[in-house]
Amino acid sequence: MLNNIDINIDKSENYIQINNISTDDLTKIWEPLTTQYPGYEVVLCFRDMPAPMEALTFIGAELLEDCIKMQLTAFEHITYENNKAKQLTKDDFITIANLHDTNNPDMYWTSQRICDKWDDWRIFAIWSEGNITGYAMMSINLRDEQLAEVFCVEADNLIKKKALLSALAHCAFECGKKVIVYMVDQGDKLDYDAALAVGFSNAGYYSGYIVKL
């Protein structure tokens, strides 16, 4: 708590996350933050609420993510038949670690952080002639134990993305999850169409901003 406002601090990573903060509260904590945590990276997340743009501009925050929140239940899931997506082992994932970091340079969950918390993740891939041609990753360790969240779906066509999302869905529901959440970038028609094809529906919106103290 900082000035009676809840913030999430990871001192080992020099990282701070603040969720759904108002203009007034951001004003209250910004000077103490800059004084107590110089050099830290701050990510401000806004779920289903407008971001306070004037305050964010004042502190020099830059847009990190602008997404549509989509969600899926087992009842809504449309199974993708002839699905060739298979779950990766940790050793499999290490072989595409550089690819993941290159494709997702702004994602907090780098390949190293994923490997460090491997049991929290379920990652599926599609192979062609012995090479991985698409992969998708999902966290099953969230504060709400009923939820799983898709973090990325990397593939070059709709068929592969549908297969990967469907495989993740099966896995999540087998793990006892009730709802899967997937933040799709605004304007990413391929990811959006793949999510709809598997049964996801619109459930809100999300934006994230980043600033270094």
What is d(CA 152, CA 103) in angstroms, rounded to the nearest whole number?
Answer: 10
For residues 37-54, give the mean pLDDT: 92
Q: What is the pLDDT of residues 124-180, one digit of tens each?
A: 999 888 888 999 999 999 888 999 999 999 998 999 999 999 999 999 999 999 999
Q: Which residue has the higher pLDDT, 7 or 1?
A: 7
Domains of the chain: 8-60 (no CATH), 69-205 (3.40.630.30)
**Residue 82 clears pLDDT 80, i.e. is over it:** no
Find all residues with CB under 8 Å of 98, minimum gap 6, and list them: 111
For residues 9-28, give the mean pLDDT: 90
pTM recorded for the entire structure: 0.82
Q: Which two three-digit tokens encode residue 24?
A: 């007034």
> Comparing 28-32, 71-75, 191-195, which segment has the lowest mean pLDDT?
28-32
Q: What is the pLDDT of residues 167-182, one digit of tens each?
A: 999 999 999 999 999 9
Q: What is the pLDDT of residues 95-123, one digit of tens each?
A: 889 989 998 888 889 999 999 999 999 99
**Residue 83 clears pLDDT 80, i.e. is over it:** no
For residues 22-46, give the mean pLDDT: 91
**Residue 10 clears pLDDT 80, i.e. is over it:** yes
